[in-house]
Amino acid sequence: MTADVNQFPALDKTKFEQRGIEFRLGIPVTTAVSVGNSIAVGFGDGSVRIFTSGQSSDAIKAHKGIVLCMSKDGNHILTGGDDGRFLKISLDGVVTEIGNFGTRWVDNVTANNGSLVCSSGKIVYLWSPNNKEPKLFEHNSTVGGIAFDTKGKRLAVSRYDGVTLWKKDYTKKWVSSNLIWKGSHNKVSFSPDGKYLVTSMQENAIRCWRLKDKIDFAMSGYDRKIKSFAFVGETSYLATSGALGMGVAAAICWPFDGEGPMGRQPTCLSYTGNNEVTFVEPFPSENAIFAGLSDGSVFLSEIENKNNTIIIRSFTGSEVSAIAVTDDSSSILIGDMNGNILWTSIWDK
């Protein structure tokens, strides 16, 4: 469907679109990560491009088929692909292969205190700065997601039937414990204070564990699978996709302050329309989130002031698949499944 990317309906463009720069690349955007004041974007043809001040670099040939996941290590990008490779890429396009797993995909990548980490199949691989060979963390089923806590001391690995929690014991040996809940767990994250662990499940729900006593509970009521979630703000809300209201597109935000979300009502950030929120991205400097919709539009909403909602990008007809904000919070990049990209400054001059 690359042929029709130039036929946007003649809707009024937002001021963000008017002052921004639009790219119509026709290649699905799979992921985006900010590195300083640049934003790296991964695509469904295996390439990576670096966007800086609204300018795109040449395509960096990274993977054979699809850039499946992306993270960063200092001023480098980490990517995993369907060619089974785990790559480290510099902003000027130098590609270094960290690992190669052949026909087995690299589904997750991250970095932690100088270590490079990825998952492929049932195994998480960790390369310490001084070791050539990775340390292997094995699980009983394919890894859904990986996450370190803010201090980098604990590693959570989601999979079928729960989460494996790894940490170093007093002899500096990695030991594991299990958080059990039946079903398929996809993405995983610690709350910023390290007190909670959340996963998005195949069922339309978030599973949450309070780590001090391993009490677990569900955050449910979603219409769709939760493809995207993120913690945001000083009081720490968990913003989630997956809700589909009648006549409103909604991002659901659960409070994680005080006694946590158990038994409390979420805040519902909504905007008119019959679309699903497919992507949520925190606005780090504000207590706000960017919500991307299945029709390509994006709104910005303050969590504790719902009336303060503005449309950043209008309809494109293609699901929002990536949003990233530069580290100085000055600019935003939005990408969708048809390869439409908007780079724009967030603040009025």
Report the residue number, 149 or 319, with the smaller CB distance to other proteins: 319
Q: Least distance from C-beta 194 to other proteins, angstroms?
A: 27
Asked whether 252 and 232 are in contact (CB, 8 A), the reply is: no
Residue 122: CB minimum distance to other proteins, A: 7
The residue (of 276 and 281) whose beta carbon lies closer to other proteins is: 276
Q: Which residues bind other proteins (CB under 8 A)?
A: 1, 26-28, 30, 43-45, 65-66, 68, 82, 102-105, 107, 121-122, 141-142, 144, 160-161, 181-184, 202-203, 224-225, 317, 321, 337, 339
Beta carbon of residue 224, minimum distance to other proteins (angstroms, whole number): 7
Q: Is the dihedral of CA 331, 335, 341, 342 positive or negative?
A: negative
Q: How far apart are CA 243 and CA 331, in angstroms?
A: 27
Q: How far is the CB of 291 from other proteins (least distance, A)?
A: 19
CB of 182 to other proteins, least distance (A): 5
Smallest separation, CB 319 to other proteins (Å): 10
Q: 226 vs 72, 267, 285, 324, CA distance in Å?
A: 23, 16, 25, 19
CB closer to other proteins out of 142 and 345: 142
Residue type, 139: H
CA 228 from centre of chain: 6
Residue number with CB closer to other proteins (88 or 139): 139
Position 212: which residue type?
Answer: K
Question: Distance between CA atoms of 294 and 113, rounded to whole angstroms?
Answer: 36
In angstroms, the CA 234 to CA 256 distance is 10
Question: What are φ and ψ of residue 18, in 5° steps?
Answer: -65, -40
Q: How far is the CB of 103 from other proteins (least distance, A)?
A: 4
Residue 47: partners with Cβ closer than 8 Å, 6 or more residues away: 27, 59, 60, 61, 62, 63, 67
* Closer by beta carbon to other proteins, 115 or else 314: 314
Our CB check for other proteins shows the closer of 16 and 222 to be 222
* φ, ψ dihedrals at 15, nearest 5°: -65, -25
Nearer to other proteins by C-beta: 40 or 232? 40
Query: 59 φ, ψ to 5°?
Result: -65, 130
Report DSSP letters for 293-323, one per residue.
Answer: ETTS-EEEEETTEEEEEEEEE---SS-EEEE
In whole angstroms, the minimum distance from the beta carbon of 178 to other proteins comes to 16
SS3 state of residue 18: helix
**Residue with smaller CB distance to other proteins, 96 or 202:** 202
Distance CA 133, CA 21 (A): 43
